[in-house]
Chains A and B, each alone.
Chain A
Amino acid sequence: MSEFLQQLLNGLSLGAIYALIALGYTMVYGVLRFINFAHADVFMVGAFIGYYMGRIVPEGTIWGGTIALVVAMLGCALLGILIERFAYRPLRGAATLNVLITAIGVSLFLQYTGQRFFGAAPRAFPPLFPVKMFNLGGLVISTNQLLVIFVATLLMVALQFIVQKTKIGTAMRAVSLNPKAAQLVGVNIDVVISFTFGLGSALAAAGGILYALNYPSIDPLMGVMPGLKAFVAAILGGIGNIPGAALGGLLLGTVETFVGGSQFSTYKDAIAFAILIIILLFRPAGLLGRFTVEKV
């Protein structure tokens, strides 16, 4: 039983990170209808900003860690906005595939630039926040795991508030529903899209730091696998659907951790895709997505 709870806790904290990344994918898909492959590399850049911030702020203090987290989120928000402005905006209205290839190009660009300037070798990530282990009746809980769940919940609640209650959030939903109609009623699409990229990239940066705190080794290709899985999580929940992305992330993280702890642990990386395929075959629009029939 305690092992079950332990795995569940580990799974939830991994799932919370997947959920944070998945939110960025799903929001961008919501407004622009394309898979932003570069998102996973924004996640990597976030972790690296955290790494360099770790040299400036004192290690293992709450305020130092918070500063590093906020700086990384702001930096990545800026990066996301720049990527959209220079790579994706010129292609607005072009065929989906072209935008997709551009996204892959941006992703490769960030990876290789990272390898050139950060170095390809993995580095140890500094403990930004104070680390403590609790032992609760055989259950080992680290403060990092609690931190992940706390920060992720906080950010998701904040996101939900922004999307549902603020003016810009309403505009985001309007653009996602129908860009042309949104423009007709006076929504500035460019601002909304930039904002969406900024928001999504900030969440990815937070995810990057939280991931690096729990799996303390970072390298320029670290985003690839978590990115793919987070994308699977977004699709699982129904892409474009914000609560769906959170649900998909938690589900995926939990299942993956349980598989990792079983005798099939070497198949851990395949399980995410197997779940994806099974769910899509039975619910082609994801768990919370609405299936729309194409009309002539």
Chain B
Amino acid sequence: MPKPHLALLGALLVAFGLSHFSGAIDPYHLDVLTGVGINVLLAVSLNLVNGFTGQFSLGHAGFMSVGAYLSAAVSLFLAPQLFGDLASAGALQQGLACLLALLVGGLCAALAGLVVGVPSLRLRGDYLALVTLGFGEIIRVTFQNVPSLGGALGLHGIPAFTSIFWVLASVAIAIFVVTCLVHSTYGRGFLATRDDEIASAAVGLNTTRYKIVAFVVAAFFAGIAGGLYGHFKQSITPTAFDFAKSIEIVVMVILGGMGNTVGVIIAAILLTLLPELLRPIAEYRMIIYSLLLILLMILRPQGLLNIRGLSPRKHPS
């Protein structure tokens, strides 16, 4: 991309413009579009860890839940004190409250990413996958046991801040940050860590630090995605962020061809739309989904859309 800053500005303007026409879009389509946006955000951020840095994380839904819970808590408990009654507040106040909630959610998720990442990134491959999965489950069970956050029942009555503007803007910023990070001089270290950790360490890269940075940035955007999700569904339960959600995001990254942002975005869109498109045959749709997954892996092991050949190295057997 020649001028990423201009592209970001353009995308933000488009998002802003589009949000004025959201009334004209069919509500069902708007819902689907929001769902797609949240999944794209999750997939693009996880791609930084799994695709570009080559670390296999299976706990992305855990960070999403941190973001969802903390931002919901901000909107429910803190925002009314800062901005008064939100229902009657002006658009500016609502926007500020939403921004605050999302940022708090994202930052808390990033902090969780740091706490989880520092110990677990010492491990490799399947072990890392398992430990991140474990942390994801621990986060979920912890939320289930905090009475002030609703326990197993979850939080309800979260204000419906999530508009198409916030979703598109977050997606644009996430793509911008991840792309610029990876293409910067500093960011070449992510790819080097992925391609050969030992060689990167030998030329003096602090590979552990790169892994942690990738982890924290990914967790931040997962937290934002969680915040958007909470303010979109208006109620959250711990079970929405279980192991299955993490798997769903990993599948998007792998289908898109790991480390290929465009591919991952398209895969996230397709995989979110697929269950919607299969709705007429509802009884069989998840069976077909799983069969398609197996077939795609057998027929297109390098990812559905990986054309540039940026596939990760094969593990020597």
Q: How large is the interface on B (under 10, 10 to 19, 20 to 34, 35 or more residues)?
A: 35 or more
- Asked whether B126 lies within 8 Å of A98 as measured between CB atoms, the reply is no
Q: Is A273 an interface residue (CB 8 A)?
A: yes
Interface centre among A91, A104, A179 (most CB of B within 10 A): A104
- Asked whether B130 lies within 8 Å of A105 as measured between CB atoms, the reply is no
Which chain A positions have C-beta within 8 A of B284?
Answer: 116
A102: which of B298, B311, B312 is its contact (CB, 8 Å)? B298
- Asked whether B251 lies within 8 Å of A280 as measured between CB atoms, the reply is no
Q: Is B123 an interface residue (CB 8 A)?
A: yes
Interface size on A, residues (CB 8 A): 47
Which chain B positions have C-beta within 8 A of A100?
Answer: 129
Identity of the chain A residue whose Cβ is nearest the Cβ of B56 in the assembled complex:
A97
A276: which of B130, B289, B293 is its contact (CB, 8 Å)? B130
Give the interface segment out of A133-141, A166-174, A264-272.
A264-272
Identity of the chain B residue whose Cβ is nearest the Cβ of A114 in the assembled complex:
B287
For window 217-237 of A, CB contacts with B under 8 Å fall at 224, 228, 231-232, 235
For window 112-144 of B, CB contacts with A under 8 Å fall at 119-120, 122-123, 125-127, 129-131, 133-135, 137-138, 141-142, 144
Q: Is A186 an interface residue (CB 8 A)?
A: no
- Asked whether B131 lies within 8 Å of A105 as measured between CB atoms, the reply is no
Which chain B positions have C-beta within 8 A of A102?
Answer: 293-294, 297-298
Complex CA gap A113/B301 in Å reads 24
- Asked whether A116 lies within 8 Å of B297 as measured between CB atoms, the reply is no
Give, as a whole number of angstroms, the nearest-CB distance from B284 to chain A.
7
- Asked whether B251 lies within 8 Å of A104 as measured between CB atoms, the reply is yes
Which chain A positions have C-beta within 8 A of B134?
Answer: 232, 272-274, 276-277
- Asked whether B243 lies within 8 Å of A228 as measured between CB atoms, the reply is yes
Interface centre among A91, A97, A239 (most CB of B within 10 A): A97
A108: which of B123, B198, B293 is its contact (CB, 8 Å)? B293
Complex CA gap A104/B297 in Å reads 11
Q: Is A154 an interface residue (CB 8 A)?
A: no
- Asked whether A109 lies within 8 Å of B254 as measured between CB atoms, the reply is no
Which chain A positions have C-beta within 8 A of B254?
Answer: 97-98, 101
Give, as a whole number of angstroms, the nearest-CB distance from B306 to chain A.
12
Q: Given that A108-B290, A281-B122 are contacting pairs, would A94 and B301 also be in contact in the complex, using a CB cutoff of 8 Å?
A: yes
- Asked whether B119 lies within 8 Å of A101 as measured between CB atoms, the reply is no
- Asked whether B123 lies within 8 Å of A284 as measured between CB atoms, the reply is yes
- Asked whether A109 lies within 8 Å of B137 as measured between CB atoms, the reply is no
Give, as a whole number of angstroms, the nearest-CB distance from B51 to chain A.
10
- Asked whether A116 lies within 8 Å of B251 as measured between CB atoms, the reply is no
B130: which of A90, A113, A116, A232 is its contact (CB, 8 Å)? A232
Q: Is A296 an interface residue (CB 8 A)?
A: yes
* New A-B contacts (14) at CB < 8 Å, excluding given A87-B298, A100-B129: A94-B301, A102-B294, A105-B290, A105-B291, A106-B294, A108-B289, A116-B283, A269-B141, A273-B137, A273-B138, A276-B131, A277-B119, A280-B123, A280-B131
26 pairs, A vs B, C-beta closer than 8 Å: A35-B126, A91-B301, A93-B317, A95-B301, A96-B125, A97-B254, A100-B129, A101-B254, A101-B293, A102-B297, A104-B251, A109-B291, A112-B289, A116-B283, A179-B317, A224-B243, A228-B133, A231-B130, A235-B130, A267-B145, A270-B142, A273-B134, A276-B131, A277-B131, A294-B198, A296-B198
